[in-house]
């Protein structure tokens, strides 16, 4: 599916486009707009429900597209050039720059071009401290495959198993959950929909075959249950020192309570005791296991064994 930003731009241009091409056929319009006829009809139905404040029939864009041709009956002012106030322009610039920091959500070159045009029209620039980092090759490949409906070969690092696997997927859409962007795709090996976090995609290659996810998977809303506590998985309660509070930006942790001095008690689900033990040990004294007792004992035994290994050396 196309990204939200691409569809919004297309919808904003549709009314003047159809006014400039009266009685154009569905097939011709879909070809020129670069979408399928099914997507064109979805866009027309969406546009048909948009318009001026008030929401009454006389305020909404009116289109005739039931037959073989498309005609604009009422434009609701969408044929007039958009004029932005200074605060509106600044708000759009801030939003565009924020999207540039989220891998895969927008075409960086298109966003930078839009920023330059808005800044030029506004007669000023929005100061930023750091330049936007270049898009990674894997993010560009994922975005291209999603846009062109091509299958992907991914090398992906699974945080729960601390391992890299290779899998072939059929992209569905790019979604934003919290502060991270994910590829929602049909994983052929797992035979199910999976979410792949962009910063854990080691490499991505667009394949010369169409993406073909099952229709129910495409029609369904993005499944973010991955980010909720899974009752089928064990959960650990961790005591996280203030010095390690950055963990909340990178790992699926849920704050149980905040303690004096900036420490936290947090819950985290995990796939195996072995992985969780290694994970906690990597933080030294900054992270301790409070529960379950068996996991705390395993971490303690592993730490003691490591110290003995150094002593023996």
pLDDT tens-digit series, residues 233-249:
678 899 999 888 888 77
State how far the Cα of 295 lies from the Cα of 301, in Å rounded to an integer.
10
Q: Name the 3-class secondary structure at 66.
A: coil
pLDDT at residue number 288: 94
136-163 pLDDT, tens digit per residue, is 888 889 888 888 889 999 998 876 566 7
pLDDT range class, residue 127, cuts 50, 70, 90 = very low
CATH class of 138-226: mainly beta
Tell me what the mean pLDDT of segment 266-271 comes to.
Answer: 84
What are the tokens at 14?
A: 């549709």
Question: What pLDDT band is residue 12 in, cutting at 50, 70 and 90?
Answer: confident
155 three-state secondary structure: strand
Q: What are phi and psi of 198, to 5 degrees?
A: -60, -40
Tell me which architecture the domain covering 4-74 has in CATH. Orthogonal Bundle (1.10)
Higher local confidence (pLDDT), 168 or 163: 168
Sequence spans of domains, the chain = 4-74, 138-226, 235-312
* Angstrom distance (rounded) from CA 130 to CA 92: 18
pLDDT tens-digit profile of 93-110? 666 666 665 665 566 677
């Amino acid at each position: 599916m196309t990204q939200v930003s691409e569809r919004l731009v297309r919808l904003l241009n549709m009314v003047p486009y159809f006014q400039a091409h009266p009685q154009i056929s569905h097939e011709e319009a879909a070809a020129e707009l670069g979408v399928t006829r099914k997507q064109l009809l979805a866009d027309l139905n969406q546009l048909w429900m948009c318009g001026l404040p008030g929401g009454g029939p006389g305020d909404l864009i009116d289109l005739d597209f039931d037959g073989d041709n498309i005609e604009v009956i009422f434009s609701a002012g969408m044929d007039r050039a958009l004029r932005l106030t200074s605060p509106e322009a600044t708000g759009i610039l801030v939003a565009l720059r924020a999207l540039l920091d989220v891998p895969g959500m927008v075409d960086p070159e298109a966003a930078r071009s839009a920023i330059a045009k808005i800044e030029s029209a506004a007669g000023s620039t929005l100061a930023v401290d750091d330049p936007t980092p270049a898009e990674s090759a894997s993010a560009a490949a994922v975005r291209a495959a999603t846009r062109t409906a091509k299958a992907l070969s991914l090398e992906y690092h699974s945080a729960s198993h601390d391992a890299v696997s290779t899998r072939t997927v059929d992209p569905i859409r790019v979604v934003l959950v919290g502060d991270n962007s994910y590829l929602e795709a049909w994983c052929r090996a797992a035979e199910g929909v999976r979410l792949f976090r962009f910063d854990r995609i080691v490499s991505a290659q667009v394949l010369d075959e169409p993406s073909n996810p099952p229709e129910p998977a495409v029609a369904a809303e993005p499944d973010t249950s991955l980010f909720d506590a899974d009752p089928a998985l064990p959960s650990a309660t961790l005591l996280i020192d203030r010095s390690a509070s950055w963990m909340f930006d990178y790992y699926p942790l849920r704050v149980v309570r905040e303690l004096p001095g900036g420490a936290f008690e947090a819950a985290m689900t995990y796939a195996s005791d072995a992985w969780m033990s290694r994970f906690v040990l990597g933080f030294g004294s900054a992270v301790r296991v409070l529960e379950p007792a068996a996991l705390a004992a395993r971490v303690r035994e592993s730490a003691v064994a490591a110290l003995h290994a150094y002593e023996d050396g």
